[in-house]
Amino acid sequence: MSPYVLQVLSLFNVLAIAALGLNVVVGYSGILSVTQGALVGVGAYVGALVLLAGGGWLMASALAIAVTAALGCVVQLLSNRALGDYYIVISLGIQTVLFAVMLNWQDVTRGSMGLSGIPGIPAFAGGRIEFWVVSFAVLILAFLLVRAFSRSFHGTVLRAIRSDEIATLSLGKPVRLYKVGAFVFGAALSGVAGLLYATLHRYIDPYSFQVNLSILLLSAVIVGGLGNVYGSLVGVGLIVALPEALRFVPMPSGLAAHINEIVYYSLLILFVLFRRQGIVPEFGWGSSALNVLGRPGAKVAP
């Protein structure tokens, strides 16, 4: 198979894991977070630093997950107080602060110079089948975990919180804790995705983890269908394939790049206007959209 296609498929696996994590946060819990990009970055840097220091894969994965999960916990606790529209500004703020740390803490992250020479799977990654197999396995695992989560008690409570937070609170459930739990789970998945990202490209710099990535993932999850694991996969497929597909449409190179962005954001607007439940609605095709994006009377936040 063409190494080019294999590369794109590998990238798909990595971003899909992050999207599944985001789906837990936004889709199941209704928390509108734009911090995911930075969390993936944290996972990538932690994992890369461990690998470069000689630590093995186990240690790299464990630390990447631990650090991002802990960070996710702190982030959610900090921002829990702000609701609704205020939350997004705080979330954006945290994304910006984390990016600034990645960029400016040069002693550790080497700032915009980035970290290079990160070991791959096994000796060379990307364009090779080994990476794809490993990342696919991780993706399957993540998929099963998220599905199990959504069917668990925690998941059910989250959906209750999502449709009516105030009512759930009145039932005596510690709403805040459940939301933190969901966020931590989502963050951990982002951490894993970050580690894989670092291994795929063997070089990372802060610029891959800006708010653009957060918005990219958010779009994937929304367009694909919030609250539905298959939807997230479809969404990521779209966002990975679109820029690549546009490379093949003949047009002057200067314009091509901009057209790509215009198409992308127009698609987003169109979906949001006309098919809000996404490509795959929460409970599968054919179900009515019992989800966070527009059920009449649904109280998301004041």
Q: How far is the CB of 144 from other proteins (least distance, A)?
A: 26
**Selected range binding other proteins among 86-94, 133-141, 146-154, 281-289, rule: CB under 8 A:** 86-94
Note whether 203 binds other proteins by CB under 8 A: yes
Rounded CA-CA distance 261/243 in Å is: 8
Would you say how long the chain is, in residues?
302
Residue closest to 43 by CA, chosen among 199, 174, 215: 199
Rounded CA-CA distance 79/45 in Å is: 24
**Selected range binding other proteins among 63-71, 79-87, 142-150, 152-160, rule: CB under 8 A:** 79-87
Note whether 220 binds other proteins by CB under 8 A: no
**Cβ atoms of residues 11 and 213 within 8 Å:** no
Q: Which tokens belong to 66?
A: 């631990």
Q: How far is the CB of 208 from other proteins (least distance, A)?
A: 5
133-192 residues in contact with other proteins (CB under 8 A) are 165-166, 169, 175-176
By CB under 8 A, name the one of 70, 74, 238, 298 that touches other proteins: 298
In the complex with other proteins, the residue whose CB is nearer, 265 or 285, is 265
Q: How far is the CB of 180 from other proteins (least distance, A)?
A: 13
Rounded CA-CA distance 229/182 in Å is: 15
Structure-token match 């550790």, residue found: 108
Q: How far is the CB of 211 from other proteins (least distance, A)?
A: 9
Peptide bond into 296 cis (omega under 30): no
| Residues in a beta bridge with 164 | 299
224-263 residues in contact with other proteins (CB under 8 A) are 243-244, 247-248, 253-258, 260-262
Note whether 52 binds other proteins by CB under 8 A: no
